[in-house]
Amino acid sequence: MSASSRLGSPLRIVRLSSPEAVVGHAVGDVLGLAAGIAVSPLPIVAIILILATPRGRLNGLLFALGWVLGLAALGALMLAVGGTGGASTHKNPATWVGALKLALGALLVVFGARQWRRRPKDASQAQLPKWMTAIDGFTPIKILGLALLFSAGNLKNAPLTIAAGASISSSGLPATQQVVTLVIFVVIASLGVLAPLVVYLVMGERAKSILRSWRDWAAQHNVAVLAALFFVFGLKLLGDGISILAT
């Protein structure tokens, strides 16, 4: 007679989640946030303008580097704050993570409302910031600083990166796997900025017409796209925060 028969109940087999499954779940939590950062019209316009300067190749690479460093540094800061266990209790996100997402969500919704009021009635009349007309005279240091400002100091990208870092730190993953998840997040969040650079490096002069059409579309729809993204991800973070605080 088997042990399970003697106990009068079927043998229960407990399957622990594999590390890959846990990492996959963590990546899934931040994938949407990364996509929201990737769709950033103004930084895309900026790198296209930079690529059109006499030192376009060097300046474009510097801008991409600054963008990646800004996101990585802000995300790493959140991982350090949350640690490997401080952001989670009994495998659930800690209360402060829920409160943080709630605050960030409310902030994004407010910014979304402001952006929507500022949108031009006619998209063809949308204008880029005046400083962009002088971007061809920027030094490499200014290019790097501009990229850091667009990634880590942006009113949309900074809250989304902070929220992603909080989600990763509350996932219960070991430190190494948290870093891997953050790297995946940064790569996906950088696709929008890296796409013009890749097109430029691969196609050279032939890329000018393609990049010009991207620039014109992003410039015309920048405010409306930002307003929509603020609302969508603000509501998402509000929902996540409420869900965490309610458990």
pLDDT in tens, 51-72: 888 888 899 999 999 999 999 9
pLDDT for position 9:
42
pLDDT for position 15:
41
Say how many CA atoms lie within 13 Å of 2 toward its Cβ. Answer: 6
Judged against a pLDDT cut of 60, whether residue 12 lies above it is answered with no
User: Pick the residue with more confidence: 10 or 239?
Assistant: 239
**DSSP secondary-structure letter at 136?**
G
Question: Poorest-confidence range of 100-109, 118-127, 153-162, 196-205?
Answer: 118-127
The 10 Å Cβ neighbour count of residue 163 is: 27
Question: Poorest-confidence range of 16-20, 70-74, 177-181?
Answer: 16-20
pLDDT for position 38:
94
β-partners of residue 93 are 88
φ, ψ for residue 63, nearest 5 deg: -65, -45
Confidence label for 91 from pLDDT (cuts 50, 70 and 90)? low
Task: Find where tokens 């994004």 sit.
Answer: 108
pLDDT for position 87:
62
Confidence label for 161 from pLDDT (cuts 50, 70 and 90)? very high
Judged against a pLDDT cut of 60, whether residue 19 lies above it is answered with no
Question: Poorest-confidence range of 10-19, 46-55, 214-223?
Answer: 10-19
Q: What share of the chain is helix, strand, coil (3-state, %, to 5)?
A: 80, 0, 20
Measure CA 196 to chain center. 18
Give the pair of three-digit tokens for residue 18: 């594999």
pLDDT for position 90:
58
Q: Are strands 88-89 and 92-93 parallel, antiparallel or unpaired?
A: antiparallel
Give the pair of three-digit tokens for residue 49: 């303008």
The 10 Å Cβ neighbour count of residue 232 is: 15
Strand spans (E) along 4-107 = 88-89, 92-93
Judged against a pLDDT cut of 50, whether residue 14 lies above it is answered with no
User: Pick the residue with more confidence: 205 or 156?
Assistant: 156
Full-model pTM: 0.79
The 10 Å Cβ neighbour count of residue 133 is: 10
